[in-house]
Chains A and B, each alone.
Chain A
Amino acid sequence: MVFDKASIKQRIAAVLRQPEALLADEALLSELVEESFALIEMMIELQEEFGTRAFVQDDFRAVRTVGELITLIEQYSTTALRCQ
């Protein structure tokens, strides 16, 4: 299964319970998520959803915005597909 940017953004909106319109690429995750546990919850839910269970902390450390998160998920799902 291939995940495009739109489907990833749609899922992020659902997990964060935020309208997609608020999820501009440059929107800061820290402003969309009320507390750190909600961010962890979001990370796990997205990995479960997109079958990319092994995000690593070093990769995520640089992620600040919605756009950067989408790019990370795309990279991981591409890697997962290559490994199948």
Chain B
Amino acid sequence: MISENELWLLSFYRVSEISGALFFGRLARSMRPSSIQADMTKHFSDEAMHAWYWTDCIERLGAKPLKLDVAYQDQYLVAAGMPVNIMEILAITQVFERRVINQYKRHSRTVGTHQDVCQTIARIMQDERWHIQWIRNALQEMEPEYGKDHIETTMQRYMQADVEVYRKTMREHEERVRHLIHTYRGPDGV
């Protein structure tokens, strides 16, 4: 069995992946066929699979996923303003994907993390690297249309928002990861 803290974290990842899949699925439906739409289609299918990986992982660990009402994506919109074109959507996604990768890395490096959790994170990380790559390429291709400087400024704006969102919304996630580290390593963190 897993602890209440770890179940919350794995359920949080699961809900995040479901939200990502739904968001990109809806966007892909709104777009005309193009290379961006094709990559977006793969992206949301990956996220849907990741949600399934977490469901499967939680059940293999003898638990049931928690239903969480965590709407951190909305917090991003509040902090950064609503993205109104495809470049802004990809820019905010790029910032958010980096944050997700860092969270997964941190969790998998926590001593004592169950092998099934580490394997699930490793499996997801392979796709996450591609997500970063295709969005980076798409943003580069958009430079003639939107301007390189404008894209960089947009990225900077979203990175600032990310810090704000992380400070507020992700506090619970951070506290639970800290608790895991404390549990596995002891109060001195060693």
Given known A43-B85, A47-B85, contact A36–B30 (CB-CB < 8 A): no
A48 within 8 A of B: yes
Which of B44-52, B74-82, B100-108, B110-118 contacts the other chain? B74-82
Q: How would residues 34 to 54 of chain A score, 1 for a CB under 8 Å from any chain B CB and 0 otherwise?
A: 011101110111011000011
Name the residue of chain B whose CB is nearest to the CB of A43: B84
A61 to B30, CA, bound (A): 21
A57 touches B86 (CB 8 A): no
A37 touches B26 (CB 8 A): yes
Q: How would residues 87 to 105 of chain B score, 1 for a CB under 8 Å from any chain A CB and 0 otherwise?
A: 1110000000000000000
A41 to B83, CA, bound (A): 10
Residues of chain A contacted by B85 (CB below 8 angstroms) = 43-44, 47, 53-56
Residues of chain B contacted by A53 (CB below 8 angstroms) = 85-86, 145
B145 touches A55 (CB 8 A): no
Residues of chain A contacted by B32 (CB below 8 angstroms) = 48
| Chain B residues packing against A (C-beta within 8 Å) | 22-23, 26-27, 29-32, 73-74, 77, 81-89, 145-146
